[in-house]
Amino acid sequence: MHKEQVKPCSTEEKLIWFGLTLTYPLFSIGALYVMGSVVGWIIFSIVLLRWYVLGKDQNAVIPMIVWIWVVGCIFMLIALIIAHANWDLGLGKTIKSSIGWAKGWALMPLFLFIGAFVEIKPSLIIRAICIVGFHSLIFAIISLMFYATGANGDLFISPLKAIGGPGESFFTVSFYGLNPETGAGRWRFFTPWAPAAGFMACIFLIFACQEKDKFWRNAGVLGSFVMCLLSQSRAGWVIYIALTPFCFLNKYFKNPMWLIVIGVIIPTVALLGEPIFTWLSNSYEDIKAARPGSTRVRNTLEVLALQRWEAEAPIWGHGIVERGPKIVESMPIGSHHTWYGLLFVKGIVGLLSLAIPLVITCLYLMLNSLKSPICYTAALMAIVFICYSFFENLEILSFLYWPALLWIGIALNPLKSGEKHV
């Protein structure tokens, strides 16, 4: 069997290829958030135009699970509009939040649709991710040298900030940040904050392990490891370690029960392993990067979000995040946790709008993991999503992990997820 050539052919593949391989150049000018938020809509527009002009490809189907994601996303928008009306937030904030929805939650079904509907070579996505991993190695070496000089890690804030976004950190170009409790360097790479780099490292590991070319596979895996290590993310370390054997030893998991075991073990390890890891780390004077203060702030934010959701807006939520009190260092209530954030902002309607599609997707991928390697790796990615939903807000990082959504979309289309496509 001849070796598949990794080269973008269609306009959609070129947008995906350059959107990924230009990650660091885009980050260097503070344009990564803008690109990640609009590239999906550009591809979607091209797909609709091509469909109208040329007709539908024989492998281009929209799986029922993708439609479930679409319905869930629409309910999130409905919850947003009703909550804004209930709390008299005004037309301006409603429009702004709706645009935020289009750049956040809406990207999930959008990229799932693109992955399922558009003919995309899986090897193209894998190679592009490995290239970004290789760039992460180069970035780590340069930034470590910069850190050794004692210079300020933040370089500048991109003028693109004027476009608007979730916060200043999304447009800040920097080599590294500082741990507020220890003063030591902490790397975020191309992400808005360090824990998000740990999240992306786990996704990159799953992709890189599938690369057929030895050089790019090693570069991708090593890049993901360095990203996870330097991010100093406790959740990232735990999930990465738990994930590794399932990435490298997948050929030994022939029993479908293994995927069910994986689906239980990794989230459990992530949830229970982090506090255990923190406790062990705090036993040593020389390991203070675990940031117990961060754990306190997160826990308090969760309690505040849950209490105010239950007492004030159980069905539709508050519509927007709110600035927290001094006890949580003014962090927004509804941030740092997907599920508490959904309850606070969009109520029980918003939570179910994500939980139902996510659970159905995980079950489908696990049940089909033995039939297709793509379904197996997509199941691992879905499990990583579940794990990180307890530590990050998935909505706000969708502009980064969209390659994983593409991959899951491919896996959801039974006509495209066969082994011949890998």
DSSP string covering 30-43, please?
T-HHHHHHHHHHHH
24 and 190 Cβ atoms separated by less than 8 Å: yes
pLDDT at 392 over 80: yes
| 240 within some domain | yes
Reported as a single tens digit per residue, the pLDDT across 109-127 is 999 999 999 989 999 999 9
Which residues does residue 310 pair with via DSSP β-bridges, in sequence order?
A: none
Q: What is the pLDDT of residue 415?
A: 82
Give me the torsion for CA of 127, 128, 132, 138, rounded to 10°.
Answer: 60
Instruction: Give residue 282's domain range.
Output: 11-248+257-421
- Tell me the pTM: 0.88
Q: What is the pLDDT of residue 330?
A: 65
pLDDT at 48 over 60: yes
| 1 within some domain | no
pLDDT at 327 over 70: no
- The residue with tokens 């939650």 is 105
| 4 within some domain | no
Residue 261 vs residues 68, 267, 364: alpha-carbon distances, Å: 25, 10, 15
- The residue with tokens 């069905």 is 315
How far apart CA 331 and CA 298 sit, in angstroms, is 9
Q: What is the pLDDT of residue 52?
A: 82
4: left (phi over 0), alpha (psi -120 to 50) or beta: beta
Band (pLDDT 50/70/90 cuts) for residue 91 is very high
Q: What is the pLDDT of residue 329?
A: 64
Q: For the chain, how many structural domains are there in total?
A: 1
372 and 380 Cβ atoms separated by less than 8 Å: no
| 2 within some domain | no
| 16 within some domain | yes
Highest mean pLDDT among 188-192, 320-324, 332-336: 188-192
Q: What is the pLDDT of residue 288?
A: 38
Q: What is the pLDDT of residue 299?
A: 74
Residues 6+ away with beta carbon under 8 Å from 327: 300
Query: 3-state DSSP call for residue 190?
Result: coil
Mean pLDDT of 35-60: 86
Average pLDDT, the chain: 85
| 5 within some domain | no
Q: Which tops the pLDDT comparison, 59 or 365?
A: 365
pLDDT at 2 over 60: no
196 and 223 Cβ atoms separated by less than 8 Å: no
| 69 within some domain | yes
CA angle at 340 for the pair 238 and 244, rounded to the nearest 5°: 20
169: which DSSP letter? G
| 279 within some domain | yes
- The residue with tokens 């003063």 is 183
pLDDT at 254 over 80: no
Q: What is the pLDDT of residue 145?
A: 92
Band (pLDDT 50/70/90 cuts) for residue 260 is low
Q: What is the pLDDT of residue 358?
A: 95
Reported as a single tens digit per residue, the pLDDT across 208-219 is 999 999 999 999
Helices (H) and strands (E) in the chain, counts: 15, 6
Reported as a single tens digit per residue, the pLDDT across 369-381 is 888 889 999 999 9
Residues 6+ away with beta carbon under 8 Å from 40: 107, 110, 111, 114, 402
Reported as a single tens digit per residue, the pLDDT across 60-90 is 788 999 999 999 999 999 999 999 999 989 8
Reported as a single tens digit per residue, the pLDDT across 309-324 is 888 888 998 888 777 6
